[in-house]
A and B are shown apart, each in its own frame.
Chain A
Amino acid sequence: MVFKRGNRVEVFQASTDEAWESYMNDFIGAHGVITDPDSSINDPDDLIEVSLQGKGTHRLPQDCLRLLDETTG
């Protein structure tokens, strides 16, 4: 899945990536907007910046995210 700036997403699961920190478990279920996707090489391994409703802005692994609405993509 390729995430683009402005996509609405949901943190639907914990990531298995080493960048996943324990406090990020609080984000599961949160909705947000991609504010800075992988900015160089469209790498699925990149951490991408997501602004989560009520949780602030964080850089997260992509495997914890899914698109909320395909039409926004």
Chain B
Amino acid sequence: MAKDTCPVQSTLQYLSERIASGVLTDPKVRRICESIRMLVEEISLGEAGDGHMAAIDDLMTEFENRTPDDEAVKTRDHLKQVLSDHREVFVSHIETRNCPSHDCGVIAPSPCQMACPAGIDVPTYLALIAEGKDDQAIAVIREDNPLPWVCGLVCTRPCEMMCVRGRIDTPISIKFLKAFAAERALSDRRYINPKPAPPNGKRICVVGAGPGGLSCAYYLALMGYKVDVIEALPFAGGMLMVGIPRYRLPREVIDREVAMIEDLGVTFSFNTRFGKDVTYEDMKDSGTDAFFLAIGAHKAWDLGIKGETDFPKVIDAISFLKNVAIGDRHAPGKHVVVIGGGNVAIDAARTSLRLGAEKVTIAYRRSREQMPADIEEVEQAEEEGIAFSFLTIPTQIAGDGGIITGLACIKAELIAKKGTDRLAPVPILGKEFTIQADAVISAIGQYVDDTGMTAFDAVNWTRRGTIEVNHASMETSMPGVFAAGDAVSGPATVIEAIGGGKRAADAIHRHLTGMPQPRMPKIPVRRRKVPMIEMTAAEKMRLSRPSMPMLNVDRRRTTFQQVELGYDEAAVRKEARRCLRCDVCRRCGKCVEICRDKMGIDALHLGYLDFDHPVKTDFRMTAENCITCGACAANCENNAMTLEEKDGKRMLKLCGTILNEQEIQTCDSCGAKLPSAQYMAYILDKTADLTQKAERRLLCTDCQRKLSAKNHVPTRPVNPA
């Protein structure tokens, strides 16, 4: 077996070759092998059920008792070996309907799903949203992410980065569609929890109620665990609540989704600091079987410049945003300077503006192009009147009598340091200047606060000051202690924390039930197979990503109302229909090759199929040359490309998009269905020197043959004998 080939696919190929070669001469052995081949094929296609492995085992037992010749023995021993060495891969195919190596192409996840750190089945829920089945879409999302509404508003959307539609025009607006579905499902009272497993008597302590902790608690609760969440803040949400301002993520959104988790029996202890208000020993004494650490990264780095500790109005962004989240509504100053270039800096600046600051400036030591903040956030900040000072290195906070008067800075230029092409900001001597300020907010990054973690003395920490884990299981070096979220990754994304929490829940369950941990992080799981949506090529190409309606700027500068108002329902349904269904088409390009190289037609202009070098795509152009021969469909392993007959027409469809449709013709002589006129012309051209043309009549091949034979009869030499 090839080293990197999926064992399921290899077994399928092996059995097919053995059967086709005719070496299995014993009828019973042949029947056993054909039965196993059929079962393995169903496993490969994602169609297998719970009984498949048991059925294969029974057939192998039967095989053991009948080995009439060497070839049968060889086949049996090979199968025995593969099933023994790779049994978990077969089981995984059945349980997850996924092939991690993509060899079993039919069941490979789409790029957007693979891109999601939580592994959400994006094409499935988009197809459900397109059909107005928002509650079903939310149920699909929550199999991998218990906070769809939150993520619909604040996710960094790696899925959209990988969206294949982006290779044609713009990525699908996956994030906002999720938010719409969550809101609509809640409004319809159809956003419901799945039924949890019966209590299993095991108890887990989750430290931290941020997205990682909430995710872990949710999946553990569904598996029947009793979960106690310890949280230092007075509410759940962690950085969702105290790090992200309300104009991006309303508190009600967090509260509603946390309440859903609480409804599963998860208990929260707020205003409780682990290691102080409750200890490791307390939790052990109360019967805790495992711990999950999701303490986040809430400590801000110091600026390290003069004056930093001399003025009360030098504030770190994390404390500032936290205080505002708790209820502080005082402007930090009239002239506020925020130091940093990430999303936290933008959030601190926009929050200062909303609290009444007259002028807010973001000072960043690099150029605009290098700002790590999301481009949308930067643009929205500019619309609201935030000023930016790029290539600006702060040198000192100046002031008098405890009052800040300005931030002394020096202009920088970006120069590549010796031995690297990485540009670093270097001060330009003589280019000093001062930005007027009475408050300075530092937003240059955060780190993990390990206060209260002393009881976990066997947990290793990395040189980056984060908790060291095995990322496949999120297990720390201390048995029974798991971790995820910013405490492991450093300041990262909400969806990454959610994915880590889910992985940890699975790992905790394995730990407590004696199952081995996975070797590497699990590949996302396809949750459903939903039908494709039929539409014309023109519609598929014409649909475009809607623009987001925004709150007016005056209100944005004065209140914490949600800035992005969301799409209306019509826009949502249309946008969901733009999805290319990459869960079905895996972009192998075989259809294009067959059409261009074998048929010589070149009707398929599907430039998006190439990941590294995508070129132009236009579904509408297929109809110009396509002859509906069906060669592309016949060679499509995933049934993404299909040739269907409906209402007197023969249609070529790619994942539901009608690339071409031509009238079905009938034989003038016998009435049998014929290929399209274009296909008939193509065949006649290819065979013109062999077959007499049927004059102007439309004939099927049988009638054509009869006509040719008839025409040939008089020319045949007659044997007088």
Task: State the A residues within 8 Å of B (CB).
Answer: 1-2, 4-6, 8, 18-19, 21, 23, 26, 31, 33-42, 44-47, 49, 51-59, 68-69
Contacts and interface: CB of A to CB of B under 8 A. Distances in A.
A15 B523 CA distance: 22
Interface of B: 101-102, 108, 111, 114-117, 119, 156, 158, 161-162, 340, 342-344, 366, 370, 372, 420-423, 444-446, 462-464, 470-472, 489-493, 496, 519-521, 523-524, 611-612
A23 B520 contact: yes
A36 B520 CA distance: 21
Contact of B422 (A2, A51, A53, A58): A2
A42 B161 contact: no
A40 B116 contact: no
12 contacts: A2-B422, A18-B462, A21-B471, A23-B519, A33-B162, A42-B370, A47-B490, A49-B158, A49-B496, A55-B114, A56-B524, A59-B492
Nearest to A35: B158
B422 A46 contact: no
Contacts of A45: 464
Contacts of B472: 21, 23
A56 B372 CA distance: 23
Contact of A53 (B111, B445, B462, B490): B111
Contacts of A37: 372
Nearest to B489: A59
A21 B342 CA distance: 28
Contacts of A44: 420, 422
A17 to B, nearest CB: 9
B344 to A, nearest CB: 8
Given A36-B492, A54-B102, A2 B161 contact: no
- Which of A46, A56, A68 has the most chain B CB within a 10 Å cutoff? A56
Nearest to A59: B489
Q: Which 7 A-B pairs have the closest CB atoms?
A: A35-B158, A23-B520, A40-B445, A51-B115, A39-B372, A35-B161, A40-B342
B316 to A, nearest CB: 13
A55 B464 CA distance: 25
A1 B420 contact: yes
A23 B344 CA distance: 33
A49 to B, nearest CB: 7
* Interface of B (DSSP majority class): loop
Contacts of A40: 340, 342, 344, 372, 444-446, 491
Contact of B611 (A46, A53, A56): A53
A6 B114 contact: no
Contacts of B524: 56
Given A35-B161, A51-B162, A56 B523 contact: yes
Contacts of A26: 520
Contacts of B342: 39-40
Contacts of B470: 21
Given A5-B161, A6-B161, A33-B162, A39 B492 contact: yes
Given A49-B492, A51-B162, A69 B114 contact: no
Contacts of A36: 156, 158, 492-493, 496
A41 to B, nearest CB: 5
B493 A56 contact: no
Contacts of B161: 5-6, 33-35, 51
Contacts of B156: 35-36
Contacts of B423: 2
A2 B161 CA distance: 18
Given A1-B421, A49-B158, A54 B108 contact: yes
Contacts of B523: 56
Contacts of A58: 471, 521
